[in-house]
Amino acid sequence: MRKTLRQMFLFLMLSCMLTALSQPAETSEVEDMFWSRQWTSLENKLRSPDYEASARDRVMYANSLWLQGRWAPALEIFLEERDSLPEKLRPYADMLIALGFERTGSPRKAREVAMSLWRIEDWFLSPYVAYALGRIALNEGDVPEARGWFRAMSERATDASLRRQALGSLIRLPDPDPLDGLALLEISPFHKGALALIRQDPGLDDGVTAFPIGYAAFFSGDHEEAVIHLGRVPPDSPSAERARFFLARSLSRLGRNDEALDLWSELALTSSRYYQSSVESISRMAAESGGRAMDMLNGIALSGPEDPAAAALSELANIFARKNEEERALVFEDMLLEKYPKSRFAAAALWEKGWSSWKHGDVRAADEAWTKALDAGNDRRQETRLLYWAARANERLGDSRTASALLDRLRKNFPIDYYTFLAFPEGGGRVEDSVPDVLAGEEGELADWGFVIYARMEMASSDAPAGRFASARLALWLGDARSAFLDALPLFSMLSSFDPLPRPVLETLYPKAREREVLEASARFGVDPLDVWAIMRRESAFDEEAVSPAGAMGLMQLMPPTARENAAMLGEKEGDFFDPARNIILGTHHFSRLLKMFDRIEWAIAAYNAGQGAVGRWLPPKGPIEEWIEDIPYGETREFVRQIMANRNIYRITYPDIAAKGKDRE
């Protein structure tokens, strides 16, 4: 492949992609200008009477015009140079020609080109062709034809986002089909338009609409309506288990505890996918009121299937430990460790046992519990925690050899984990701009001719690591942090196999979304921009339209009252809190206030999740900050703090220049 992207990323300070793209040595000045986005220089070069432009130069220039939204001049060049393109690239040029005709007021010509493209079978851009034809038909007032094309788009869609777009277009048409609303709710369960559509159609089977309406009612806080609808979900429905679980939660919120317990018990004893949540729900009720809930929890522990029984024994041990009834807690703990020694619940119990010993100064007992837990069925989060604290225990016991071995295992297997950064503040390994051979690969002619959007789409459909990496890097160049992150996610599990850590991969997994807006907001409120991205990655995964079940909005996941409060403090009126620039400003302002309220970054992060009132109750800390984090009462907040702290450290080793500026500000 040509040296195209090499020059692009040299200009963009992303030279790490050299190896990944395996580019030969020569590159043209036009390519340099294109990939470094020197649009004015590129235009002047192509218009110079002294420069004899090749067909490829002109097509790259046309693509640069397209990326700037200059449809008419781009269209003119695509029409002139179409036949100069390699044959396999012509359909992509035709796609832009069709869109160009549509956007410059020539729908008839746009339709002709799009129809010729539609006849190409098994083409991965066919959903986009159908969408264009649907838009053209709708603009011409032909609703039935538009409906047909949007439905074709839905059928050809290769991912959830495309199908969501198609179904959203369908339900906005006159006389929409409520079945399309139901299909949309499977992808976006809180879509207001789809919910309104199925509510107002009396012809739909109540058993079909019961779950989506009831599920949305639960998360909106209308538990009476949730009970009505979730109770109507047929037992053979694919949503039956989920419906029973949330029905139980609504019944509990309404004080109908016996009915809730019956449902949770059924879900636990049948080993449903909700067995652990059901056991935990019964446990909470048992801890509060004992009685029937306690009897039920005991019954599951003694005679339930293996996983639910292990979960119940773990909950019983925790209940009595919190009540300081240590002997009874030990009875259930011993039963758990004896009957299910390799379960993750046994590992969790051993963690708690070790933590209690650690807090009471019995380091040897803590080490024994944690060492035994490392042999049980741990997930990644549990294993990293055990490795770190077991190493700390061995250090205190004077066994530096064992401590070093545990920390080395942590560093090698989990190089960018929260606990790794606790042990190694500079990170678990060197970070370099090189790219591993396994991620090196060809991008193909699409990128060589400037069709970056389509090159990225093509690579995104690849299962090969090199293809996903190339797609993610192109998404970054296009300014699409969300797509870069999603394209690169399959590479996350490969990080532990790389030494040194490749910065190019970290850049795709930890991108600088909305860089200009974040830098402006951070400078305005005195916040490190890397901290803003660390929060954004955890909160929304860079999805600008993200909505949590609780109603948190946008990139920074602001609850409506928080958004309104910060807007008022800045003298702004209420508006679109999903707008990325506004969401970033309000979220950054909110975080800056928390940083001023609390002396430590960890406390401010905890307050971003749990609220400043809750964090205020947890202060002052008893012991070092890492112990304070382990003692946070809310499991969600505890994990939130760990993830944000890991994210901010990873951003610092990935973008050292920005990190250095942050140190200068300090």
Positions annotated as catalytic residues are: 539
Which DSSP string corresponds to 308-329?
A: HHHHHHHHHHHHHHHTT-HHHH
3-state secondary structure of 582: helix
Q: Which segments of 287-368 are extended strands (E)?
A: none
| 353 vs 497: CA distance, rounded Å | 33
**Dmax of the chain from CA atoms?**
92
Are the C-beta atoms of residues 98 and 71 closer than 8 Å to each other? no
The amino acid sitting at 371 is T
CA angle in degrees (0–180, nearest 5) for 51-56-57:
35
Buried b (16+ CB within 10 A) or exposed e, 128-167: bbbbbbbbbbbeeeeeeebbebbbbbbebbeeeebbbbbb
Q: How far is CA 229 from CA 77, 199, 277, 627, 664, in A?
A: 58, 11, 21, 44, 57
The amino acid sitting at 471 is S
Residue with tokens 């959830």: 160
Are the C-beta atoms of residues 648 and 423 closer than 8 Å to each other? no
- Closest Cα to residue 179, out of 158, 148, 205? 205
| 473 vs 476: CA distance, rounded Å | 5
Which are the contacts of 284, defined by CB distance < 8 A and separation ≥ 6?
Answer: none
3-state secondary structure of 600: coil
| 55 vs 61: CA distance, rounded Å | 10
Which are the contacts of 639, defined by CB distance < 8 A and separation ≥ 6?
Answer: 381
Are the C-beta atoms of residues 340 and 310 closer than 8 Å to each other? yes
Q: Is 507 left (phi over 0), alpha (psi -120 to 50) or beta?
A: alpha
Q: Is 37 left (phi over 0), alpha (psi -120 to 50) or beta?
A: left
